[in-house]
Amino acid sequence: MRVAQCCFRRYRLRFKRHVDSVLPSRHGHNGPAAHREGVIVTLRDGSGREGHGEIAPLLGLHREGLEKVIEALPGVRETMMGTDWSPKQSALWGQFDKTLGAIAGSVRCGVEMALADLLGAFETDEEVAVCGLMAADGSICEEVETLAAGGYKVAKVKVGRRPLSEDVEIVRRIRERLGGRIRLRLDANRAWGLDDAVEFCRRIGGDGIEYIEEPVVDPGDQGTFVRKTGLPIGLDETLSQVEPEDPAIAEGVAAVILKPAVIGGLSRTARWIAVAKRRGVQAVLSSCFESAVAVRAYAAMAARLGVGRTAQGLDTLKFLREDVAKEPPVIRGGCMAMERLTLRDEGLEEIRV
């Protein structure tokens, strides 16, 4: 299959309040995050069918910035239009590895997404369970009730950004309001040394906790943390440092948190999902506050690869004031349904390459 057209459009979306309490760490960058920026990749085949992808590096997560991404787009266009792509998804993942090579993770993710969408890889009638994302601030009690009333079964809250005693109190308040109705995932983003991480877990206990993501700053302490606390962990940042088939994953790992735009694209994400299923570990796809284009793709990928019943980390569209899609995916009863998206013309600026 040949790509007949390849175009790029830049977007800039406004964040709502509370977003800084859930964004990845932005060390060295002061002031609240006000906008989310990125590039929509649109591919068309000879019949006029379209596929959309999204390139959206995020400060604090990606080495590449948006301007570096834009500089790379002429080469991306040449590759996409100069390759005879396989129409079979199983062969396509391997072809991505051979053809796209070592381009930046966010760029690779976006072009893989657009081509997979063009080939119909995201078409599914299956709904996908979603983990509710809570902004751990003054509205925490109201937010907990909203998630529970909305049918969410799992919720996630960031820890490690406040004094340890405040994090303990937040978890206590959440449990008090939930009364066991929702299971919790905690995310420390490697904020603590081993002693603080163990002390935090000693004080909160393990009731209702599915796992805690990246509790310790040193990955070498992960096994010790699990042995001392008995709490399972989720791997996120660690995944950028190991290969999917690497056997040296710490004991007590309950989940791998997969950010396709960070770990190297959809093809690498598919490899991680296959490994997680073989090892009996949860595979959780997680968005990086992208638009509906990426969120729909991640949800559909989870459904198509058989992990859609695990609550996915896709509850981020609610933090955007607007979107590039006319009708973004909606979460009902804690689940997201995938409809084919129609993009808005307004707010998308063509990038000439």
Q: How confident is the model at residue 95 (pLDDT cuts 50, 70, 90)?
A: confident
CA distance 86 to 106: 22
pLDDT for 12: 96
Look up residue 137 and give its two tokens. Answer: 């601030």
For the record, the structure tokens of 267 come out as 């093809």
Helix (H/G/I), strand (E/B), else coil: 39? strand
What residues contact residue 345 under an 8 Å CB cut-off, 6+ apart? none
The pLDDT of residue 247: 65
**pLDDT at 21 (0 to 100):** 60
Residue 218 gets which letter from DSSP? Answer: S
Percent of the chain with pLDDT over 90: 72
CA 88 and chain centroid, separation: 25
Mean pLDDT calculated for residue range 335-341: 91
- pLDDT band of residue 315 (cuts 50, 70, 90) is very high
- The string of pLDDT tens digits covering residues 129-157 is 999 998 766 677 788 888 999 999 999 99
Is pLDDT at 87 greater than 90 in this prediction? no
Range with lowest mean pLDDT among 113-127, 161-175, 243-257: 243-257
pLDDT digits (tens, 9 = 90+) for 230-250: 999 999 999 988 888 776 566
Closest CA to 320 of 311, 329, 312: 329
pLDDT of residue 26: 46
Query: What average pLDDT does the structure give for the chain?
Result: 90
Of residues 180 and 201, which shows the higher confidence score? 201
pLDDT in tens, 182-205: 999 999 999 999 999 999 999 999
For the chain, list the domains and their CATH numbers.
5-123+347-351 (3.30.390.10), 128-336 (3.20.20.120)
Question: Tens digit of pLDDT for each residue in 11-34?
Answer: 999 998 667 666 665 444 445 678
